[in-house]
Amino acid sequence: MIQPALVLAVSFGYLLLLVAVAAHGDRRAGQGRSLIDNSLVYALSWGVYCSAWTYFGSVGRAASGGVWFLPIYLGPMLAMLLAWVVLRKMVRIARSYRITSIADFIASRYGKSPLLAALVTLITVVGILPYIALQLKAVSAGYEALTGGPGPADAAWWRDGTLYMALSLAGFAVVFGTRHLDLSERHEGMVAAIAFESAVKLAAFLAVGVFVTYGLFGGMGDIWARAQAQPDIAALLQLGGQGFQGFQGAQWFTLTLLSMLSVLLLPRQFQMMVVECVNERHILPASWQFPAYLLLINIFVLPIAIGGMLIFGDGGAGAESYVLTLPLSQGAEWLALLAYLGGLSAATGMIIVETVAVSTMVCNDLVMPALLSRGRFARTGGDLTQLLLNIRRAAILLVLLLGYLYFRVAGEAYALVSIGLISFAAVAQFAPALLGGMYWRGATRGGALGGLIGGSLVWAYTLMLPSLARSGWIPGGFLDGPFGLAFLAPQRLFGLTGFDELTHSLFWSLLVNVSLYVGLSLAGRASAREASQALLFVEVFQRGEAQPVFWRGRARPEDLRRLAGRFLGAARAEALFRDHARETGTALDSLTADARLVDRVERQIAGAIGTASARVMVESVAQEEPLSLGDVLEIIDEASQVRTYARELEEATVELRAANEKLKSLDQLKDDFMSSVTHELRTPLTSIRALTELMLDTPDIQPAEREEFLAIILSESERLSRLVNQVLDLAKIESGMAEWHNTDVDMKALIVAALRSTAELFRERGAEVVLDLPEQVPMVLADPDRLTQVLVNLLSNAAKFVPEHRGRVEVALRQQGDELVVTVRDNGPGVAPEDQAAVFDKFRQGGEAGNRPPGTGLGLPISRQIVVNLGGRMWLDSQPGQGACFAFSLPLSQQGRVR
Amino acid sequence: MRRRDGPRPEVLLALCGAGFLLLNFPLLLIWDQPLTVLGLPLLPVALFVIWAGLIAALAWVSAPRAGRGAKEPPDAGERNG
């Protein structure tokens, strides 16, 4: 036994330490070096999920049900797998629209409905009372276990220690949650303290676990080996029964699902995960660190439970305080005290965050709307920040006292875990409206209201009221159905049996909830405000910073400024307006109350008093014109038009970039062309110059030699002029300056003429030319001289590449549809596939650089230009080693076609 | 922030589905045998091992990886406007 004075002193000292941690956290936040800006602290703060229920109740549950304590922690594991998808969206929404509570979140989604906010708050308060009671029960039971037995049972209520504990916890919650006048900021100090508490409770529980497992026993294996001697303990670790018989699969599933939802929807979880989130990036690492924390804190639950049953032999009756009684019975009093501190951490952490969260909701969504609805209050009065704080403080006290009341009324009849599950089932009712609202644009306020009311009424009827009836506060006959109507029995609705009461309640309440939510949403129509809010929520990631503002009306800047001053304090209101003036680039005193300013003020006020109340307040100073659905669509349309423009701009940029690339490559081509031309010009010039110089220097040159030199000079000059002509030609054709003398041309005659002029070439190479011409072909409209140039080019090209003395060139003419096709096939080396595309490029000559026949490299490009200008095409078919086949086609002339 | 900063939602959904199956009946009944692992009863050991496995899988897919941005096409649905 430990002296009560010592326990009280240590507890009080510990709570003071917490205050110091919180103060330190706040100070660091003030210096801009946030203590909580890292994922581990963020994950530890989520550990507020482990309340006294976990700390004391899990062991109790394990002693009576074996592994059945686990689903409550497996659910969060599953939920955390989706945290990056779901939680991140919740955080982004809350951040974007300055949402500070779960009631605010739901109300804001469905058109900032004050009614919905009040309803959610009411459900939360009623639903959370059993949970608060659980903490009070656990701490007071722990205190009794530590100090030895309860006080006098007949003590008057004012001598009840639990009451004073509730009051002092309320005091601490007030200190933690409502110290700041700065209402809309996060509570950095509180988060730091909660993270600290999470570490303490984990360490304390692990210490007890190690003490029991390795101090009192020889490890987990030893505990199990000894437990097997006792069949009732050994049976604990089986699911019971074979196959599906006996195993309550439905209940297991229910517990998993319930805890999965609760880890997101309990007010304290929402507060820690969503409202207090410093940085979205922390969600990802925290989403696996938090389940790891849960796993660690649960590892020793079974060893402690079984170890306790082995030592005490009580069949698990006192299992909920094994964590304390086991060390105590072995004389390890300091360890027992540490374990008590761990339990205190678990309970206080839960109570502080839960009451802070609930008090915010009560203040913003129940009290403020009631106050604001009285016009006189809304219009007059100065700074309201102090009033807001006081309302919250009163709300914290009220919630704790109500929790105490529930503890007195129903606390004794239930185990810790069963009490907690009642609360879980209550907050699960938020799931359809909240999660559905984040992904389904069609959900309406009517659906959300119907679902929440229906679901929570069924919850109250099937779970909450029976818990009161169980303790005798409602006549016990109620459990068999009111007024003797057996089919309405709260735990066997319509005769549905076979479920435990929790599964039964959750099934019916969620069935009613989801049906009404979906049914009414589909049947009803969303108002303009709902539609706009739905859009802002569902597409929060697509919208980014530039939000469309759904507002039309008139307001005076001084009214807005006074309004902001009342709820934010004069200094912050001033800063808000200065910022807006700076961002819009107008002077502070010439600000107009346009839609953006109104929206900005409304959002800032929403951070202090909730979105629904903020809406009411802004309405009171602004003459608004009602938004029609058409207006909303227009605004949405504008927003999407902006997006369309942005996309078009992006596309245009891409096109410009491509065009620029093309220009650059053309420029490069021009440079290459210039350098090729000058290079081609230089070669003949060099030889002409060298030979003339030689002849000048040697006056007594032999006539035969002179003759030879002059012949070379002549041929080089001819080559030079040919080249210059061709370059000019090409330039003319390409720029469209060439003159064309088109007339009807007989292609057959043209080919024969071209062959005649190149016959000498073929004779020199010893090549054979085969003609394949039809009897008669239609006319084509063309410039005969240019066409001859093309034919001569192709023929001389073929002559150059055929092998000496074995050459064979086939020239064919065919009519194909409306075209005449000329092919010139040689049996030369052919053109490799990779070079085929380039043969029509300027100065690109076939063959190896060394043994390439002489030529300007302009013949084929010119030929193709001519053919293209005449409306035809030129192409090349070639396989390496099998010769090349150049071909071109020309359209028939009108006359030719008629014929 | 773009979604490619984290794991793809499909992967997380698949993990969650797998977790739901592994941690519920009927698969849970596989472990309901009177056997021991290293002297410990099979059922709780299996539950904790599956649990730890899910944590490890989540940590693994969450780990920042070089070149993730290059491998995954940016998700148009999540891009800031």
Residue of A256, A285, A542 with shortest CB distance to B23: A256
What's the CA gap between A319 and A305, in Å, rounded? 7
Residues 75-114 of A with CB under 8 A from B: 77-78, 80-82, 84-85
Contacts of A74 in chain B (CB under 8 A): 23, 47, 51
Is A92 part of a structural domain of the chain?
no
Per-residue confidence at A851, pLDDT binned at 50, 70, 90? very low
Q: What's A892's DSSP letter?
A: B
Same-domain check for residues A817 and A853: yes
Is A273 part of a structural domain of the chain?
no
Q: Report how many domains make up chain A.
A: 4
pLDDT tens figures, A455-475: 999 988 888 888 777 776 777
Is A148 part of a structural domain of the chain?
yes
Same-domain check for residues A659 and A618: no
User: Can you give the pLDDT at residue A516?
Assistant: 93
User: Can you give the pLDDT at residue B80?
Assistant: 38
Specify whether the CB–CB gap between A684 and A720 falls below 8 A: yes
Per-residue confidence at A880, pLDDT binned at 50, 70, 90? confident
Helices assigned H by DSSP within A591-702: 595-609, 611-621, 629-697
User: Can you give the pLDDT at residue B74?
Assistant: 39
Does A62 touch chain B if contact means CB atoms closer than 8 Å?
A: no
Q: 10 Å Cβ neighbour count for A688?
A: 19
Is A861 part of a structural domain of the chain?
yes
CATH of the domain at A787: 3.30.565.10
Does B48 touch chain A if contact means CB atoms closer than 8 Å?
A: yes
User: Contacts for A174-179 with beta carbons within 8 Å, 24 or more apart?
Assistant: A174/A393, A174/A396, A174/A397, A175/A19, A175/A22, A176/A18, A176/A19, A176/A22, A176/A352, A176/A356, A177/A352, A177/A355, A177/A356, A177/A359, A177/A392, A177/A396, A178/A356, A178/A359, A178/A389, A178/A392, A178/A393, A178/A396, A179/A26
List residues bridging with A743 in a β-sheet.
A782
What's the CA gap between A334 and A323, in Å, rounded? 13
Residue A850 sits at φ, ψ, to 5 deg, of: -75, -50
Q: Write out the H or E segment, with its range, that includes residue A888.
A: strand A884-891
CB contact under 8 A, A238 and B43: yes
In whole numbers, what is the pLDDT of chain A averaged over residues?
81
CA-based nearest residue in chain B for residue A644: B81
pLDDT tens figures, A713-722: 888 888 888 8
CB contact under 8 A, A221 and B39: yes
Taking phi over 0 as left and psi of -120 to 50 as alpha, with beta for the rest, A769 belongs to beta
Least confident segment among A364-373, A486-495, B6-15: A486-495
Tokens at A718, concatenated: 């001819």
CA-based nearest residue in chain B for residue A225: B39
Same-domain check for residues A24 and A138: yes
| Count of CA atoms in the C-beta half-sphere (13 A) of A188 | 20
Q: In angstroms, how far is CA A247 from the centroid of its own chain?
A: 39
CA-based nearest residue in chain B for residue A246: B29
- Which of A318, A352, A384 terminates a domain? The answer is A384
Residues 293-312 of A with CB under 8 A from B: 295, 299, 302
Write the single-letter amino acid at A848. Answer: E
- Pairing type for strands B40-41 and A808-816 reads unpaired
Residue A186 sits at φ, ψ, to 5 deg, of: -80, 165
Tokens at A408, concatenated: 């007195």
Does A439 touch chain B if contact means CB atoms closer than 8 Å?
A: no
CA-based nearest residue in chain A for residue B37: A221
Is the per-residue pLDDT at A895 higher than 60?
A: no
Same-domain check for residues A787 and A749: yes
CB contact under 8 A, A238 and B32: yes
Same-domain check for residues A802 and A696: no
Helix axes A385-410, A333-361, angle to 10 degrees: 120
Specify whether the CB–CB gap between A23 and A173 falls below 8 A: no
- Pairing type for strands A819-826 and A884-891 reads antiparallel
Same-domain check for residues A648 and A761: no
Same-domain check for residues A782 and A892: yes
Is A723 part of a structural domain of the chain?
yes
- Which of B24, B27, B33, B78 should be substituted to probe chain A, the one whose Cβ sees the most A Cβ atoms within 10 Å? B24
Does B43 touch chain A if contact means CB atoms closer than 8 Å?
A: yes
- Pairing type for strands A884-891 and B40-41 reads unpaired
Q: What is the model's pTM?
A: 0.68
CB contact under 8 A, B16 and A82: yes
Contacts of A284 in chain B (CB under 8 A): 6-7, 62
Least confident segment among A233-237, A266-270, A357-361, A871-875: A233-237
CA A147 vs CA A7, A151, A204: distances in Å: 8, 10, 19
CA A195 vs CA A201, A554, A625, A851, A860: distances in Å: 10, 47, 48, 84, 81
Secondary structure (3-state) at A689:
helix
Same-domain check for residues A322 and A378: yes
Write the single-letter amino acid at A630. Answer: G
CB contact under 8 A, A542 and B80: yes
CATH of the domain at A703: 1.10.287.130
* Domain around A63: 4-81+131-241+280-384
CB contact under 8 A, B39 and A78: no
Q: Which candidate, A615, A621, A624, places its Cα nearest to that of A558? A: A621
- Tell me the nearest-neighbour CA distance from A67 into chain B, angstroms: 7
DSSP string, B40-79: EEHHHHHHHHHHHHHHHHHHHHHS--TTHHHHSPP-GGG-
Does B34 touch chain A if contact means CB atoms closer than 8 Å?
A: yes
Question: What integer is the mean pLDDT of A425-429?
Answer: 89
Contacts of A288 in chain B (CB under 8 A): 55, 58-59, 62
CA-based nearest residue in chain B for residue A235: B34
Please tell me which residue, B74 or A122, carries the higher pLDDT value: A122
Contacts of B74 in chain A (CB under 8 A): none
Specify whether the CB–CB gap between A91 and A273 falls below 8 A: yes
The reply to whether omega before B26 is within 30° of 0 (cis) is yes
Is the per-residue pLDDT at A257 higher than 70?
A: yes
Least confident segment among A199-213, A463-477, A671-685, B57-71: B57-71
Helix axes A188-210, A333-361, angle to 10 degrees: 150
User: Can you give the pLDDT at residue A205?
Assistant: 92
Is A396 part of a structural domain of the chain?
no
Secondary structure (3-state) at A873:
strand
CB contact under 8 A, B6 and A284: yes
- Which of A712, A735, A758 terminates a domain? The answer is A735
pLDDT tens figures, A141-168: 888 888 775 554 444 555 566 777 778 8
User: Can you give the pLDDT at residue B55?
Assistant: 93
Q: Which residues of A869-899 are buried (b: 16+ CB within 10 A; e: fewer)?
A: bbebebebebeeeebbbbbbbbbbbeebeee
User: Can you give the pLDDT at residue B73?
Assistant: 40
CB contact under 8 A, B36 and A224: yes
How deeply is A601 buried, as exposed, middle or buried, from its count of CB atoms within 10 A (0-12, 13-18, 19+)?
buried
What's the CA gap between A221 and B19, in Å, rounded? 28
Tokens at A124, concatenated: 């939360």
Does A243 touch chain B if contact means CB atoms closer than 8 Å?
A: yes
- Tell me the nearest-neighbour CA distance from A591 into chain B, angstroms: 28
Contacts of B9 in chain A (CB under 8 A): 84-85
CA A508 vs CA A418, A454, A455, A470, A493: distances in Å: 18, 10, 8, 20, 8
Question: What ipTM did this prediction achieve?
Answer: 0.82
- Which of A40, A259, A288, A302 should be substituted to probe chain B, the one whose Cβ sees the most B Cβ atoms within 10 Å? A288
Is the per-residue pLDDT at A548 higher than 60?
A: no
- Tell me the nearest-neighbour CA distance from A551 into chain B, angstroms: 21
Q: Which candidate, A51, A267, A73, A70, places its Cα nearest to that of A138? A: A51
Residue A485 sits at φ, ψ, to 5 deg, of: -85, 100
Does A284 touch chain B if contact means CB atoms closer than 8 Å?
A: yes
Residue of A66, A221, A253 with shortest CB distance to B40: A221
Secondary structure (3-state) at A819:
strand
Residues 1-30 of B with CB under 8 A from A: 1, 5-7, 9, 12-13, 15-16, 19-20, 23-26, 28-29
Least confident segment among A120-134, A358-372, A552-566: A552-566
Same-domain check for residues A231 and A306: yes
Question: What integer is the mean pLDDT of B11-24?
Answer: 90
CB contact under 8 A, B55 and A288: yes
Does B49 touch chain A if contact means CB atoms closer than 8 Å?
A: no
User: Can you give the pLDDT at residue A148?
Assistant: 72
Same-domain check for residues A822 and A783: yes
Specify whether the CB–CB gap between A187 and A48 falls below 8 A: no
Residue A887 sits at φ, ψ, to 5 deg, of: -145, 150
- Which of A708, A735, A762 terminates a domain? The answer is A735
User: Contacts for A713-718 with beta carbons within 8 Å, 24 or more apart?
Assistant: A713/A687, A713/A688, A716/A684, A716/A685, A716/A687, A716/A688, A717/A684, A717/A688
CB contact under 8 A, A67 and B43: yes
CB contact under 8 A, A291 and B58: yes
Write the single-letter amino acid at A662. Answer: K
Does A126 touch chain B if contact means CB atoms closer than 8 Å?
A: no
Is A37 part of a structural domain of the chain?
yes
What's the CA gap between A392 and A349, in Å, rounded? 18
- Tell me the nearest-neighbour CA distance from A244 into chain B, angstroms: 8
Question: What integer is the mean pLDDT of A105-129?
Answer: 87
Specify whether the CB–CB gap between A208 and A335 falls below 8 A: yes
Same-domain check for residues A806 and A714: no
Same-domain check for residues A141 and A157: yes
Does B81 touch chain A if contact means CB atoms closer than 8 Å?
A: yes
If you compute the radius of gyration of chain B from its CA atoms, what whole number of angstroms results?
A: 18
Is A232 part of a structural domain of the chain?
yes
Q: Which candidate, A60, A97, A472, A90, places its Cα nearest to that of A301? A: A60
CA A478 vs CA A470, A482, A499, A672: distances in Å: 10, 5, 19, 99
User: Can you give the pLDDT at residue A856?
Assistant: 63
Q: Which residues of A768-806 are buried (b: 16+ CB within 10 A; e: fewer)?
A: ebeeebeeebbbbbbbbebbbbbbbbbbbbbbbbbeeee
User: Can you give the pLDDT at residue A293?
Assistant: 94
CB contact under 8 A, A84 and B51: no
